[in-house]
Amino acid sequence: MPSTASVQLRNDRRRALSNQPHPLRRLDPLAVVLSCHRNQEICSEGRPADHWYCVVSGVARRCATKCDGRRQILGLLLPGDFFGFTAHEEYDFAVEAIVEGMTIASYPRRRVEALADVEPELAREIREVAFETVSQLQAQLLILGRITATEKVASFLLAMAARSSADQSDKVLLPVSRYDIADCLTVSVETVSRSLTDLKHRGLISLLGTRTVRIVDREGLAEARLNCH
Amino acid sequence: MPSTASVQLRNDRRRALSNQPHPLRRLDPLAVVLSCHRNQEICSEGRPADHWYCVVSGVARRCATKCDGRRQILGLLLPGDFFGFTAHEEYDFAVEAIVEGMTIASYPRRRVEALADVEPELAREIREVAFETVSQLQAQLLILGRITATEKVASFLLAMAARSSADQSDKVLLPVSRYDIADCLTVSVETVSRSLTDLKHRGLISLLGTRTVRIVDREGLAEARLNCH
DNA sequence: CGTATCATTGAGCTTAGTCAAAAAGTGTGG
DNA sequence: CCACACTTTTTGACTAAGCTCAATGATACG
């Protein structure tokens, strides 16, 4: 039997969910909203994939740990992004919270699928969300396919700018460390740092704080993505 | 009014479709089977995404052409693979036939979606197929994330071995040129060639023809994927 | 049988990784 | 509020992996 405090907490979280616009409002009644600690593993590679998730607030990373101990981040998950989809019975990859106190909505997969069987509209929305994941993965593939490290970093900045801020501000808040960016782009931390100072010296960006980038020359930055030496 | 010959052709193709096991048998009645020439563009970036496709025989590539003229292949499409899914109204990327005379099944998207609305089983299967695409893209991200070129090539060979041959033979038939492999792995053609001879000298593979690889030491090749210097 | 495409190999140069260290934040407890 | 430890970020010097340019072999195809 839940205490008054925990019920209050749950209500707060439910409210947080309804404030945040997200693609599957239809599923709100089934959602359980969870708060996560920094570096907490939300779902683990190889574990039964019995839940789907949606980021409500904060940022998470989908990561693969290679046998040599290195980590690759397959993609960052921002508010509104779904994860936990898999073609198999187990999760393909782990997802870890990056921001302390980030919140996620958790949906029991079987119940959602049962609901989708009787609500074609929901089934369509789930397809949309899955297709959105496909698009994001393809975009990430394009970034990794760039030639120079500076191109990758420039792409990363523009992608973050496009995804994170609904407003057309030229300020981009990087919610992750240089290490996370490095693992995202599969380059070394030092190279990320050097690329950022490179872009700064070329007058394309300026660093307000270490994690706040101001895009000075958006055009130039977009060109820098594509092989500008 | 179709000629006898074209009806015969259509029947042949329909039969080809039913011989080939593929995930959405349920859609066979809606399918139109097409034969494609080498390098023919099956769907074009930016065009209205009004069809979904499935590779029946042969191989295709999903490609993005960068502004500097370079091409990146986001993934190879083998028999049973679906493409044409997008979160938007237009195709994100072009898909081109690689093998002369390859055949694809084409499904009108609107009709399929309408059918899915009344057949929950079909809707589930489409989700499965979409999730499968997600898995493949993630696998491709992992390959691109490898450090050395030889690791990438080794990963590519093992991935092709796993995907193409249902039989557990150690012969892998590469259905694509070195150029295609290079664009898949975002390395230069020369590097692909050098990596293959490297793997050969290390006794992990042998080249029967230029496009037929025999995996000599599967264990060793799997290790070569992960940081073996 | 000639031509075009594909594949391999070599030499020089550029990029980014590694190792090392300093600088700048961040948080904790006295 | 400051001192201290810890993490994060930046910068430098060196090295190695892979790209480019160039040339030669091999294959496929009309």
Tell me the residue type at A33.
V
* Contact (CB<8Å) B137/A138: yes
- Binned at pLDDT 50, 70 and 90, residue A228 comes out as very low
The dihedral through the CA atoms of A95, A97, A164, A71 has a sign that is negative
pLDDT greater than 50 at residue A229: no
Question: What mean pLDDT comes out for the span A204-211?
Answer: 95
Q: Which one of A61, A63, A141 would you mutate to disrupt binding with B, by most B Cβ within 10 Å of its Cβ? A: A141
Q: Which one of A43, A62, A91, A138 would you mutate to disrupt binding with B, by most B Cβ within 10 Å of its Cβ? A: A138
pTM of the prediction? 0.91
Tell the burial category of B18 from Cβ atoms under 10 Å away from its Cβ (0-12, 13-18, 19+). exposed
* Contact (CB<8Å) B74/A142: yes
pLDDT of residue B187: 97
- Binned at pLDDT 50, 70 and 90, residue B1 comes out as very low
Question: What mean pLDDT comes out for the span B73-97?
Answer: 96
pLDDT greater than 70 at residue B21: no
Name the average pLDDT for chain B: 90
Question: What mean pLDDT comes out for the span B143-155?
Answer: 96
Residues of chain A neighbouring B147 (CB-CB closer than 8 A): 70, 186
User: Which one has a higher pLDDT value, B21 or B165?
Assistant: B165
Question: What mean pLDDT comes out for the span A116-134?
Answer: 96
Nearest to B204 by CA among B187, B223, B189, B191: B223
Structure tokens at B47: 């065009």
Which among B72, B132, B134 is the nearest to A133, CB-wise?
A: B134
* Contact (CB<8Å) B120/A117: yes
pLDDT of residue A13: 57
User: Which one has a higher pLDDT value, A170 or A91?
Assistant: A91
* Contact (CB<8Å) A141/B140: yes
Residues of chain A neighbouring B137 (CB-CB closer than 8 A): 134, 137-138, 141
pLDDT greater than 80 at residue A83: yes
Nearest to B24 by CA among B91, B109, B92: B109
- Binned at pLDDT 50, 70 and 90, residue B8 comes out as low
Nearest to B76 by CA among B63, B86, B66: B63
Please report where in the chains the tokens 């000629």 appear, as a residue. Answer: B3
Q: In this structure, are residues B222 and B159 in contact, taking their beta carbons and an 8 Å threshold?
A: no
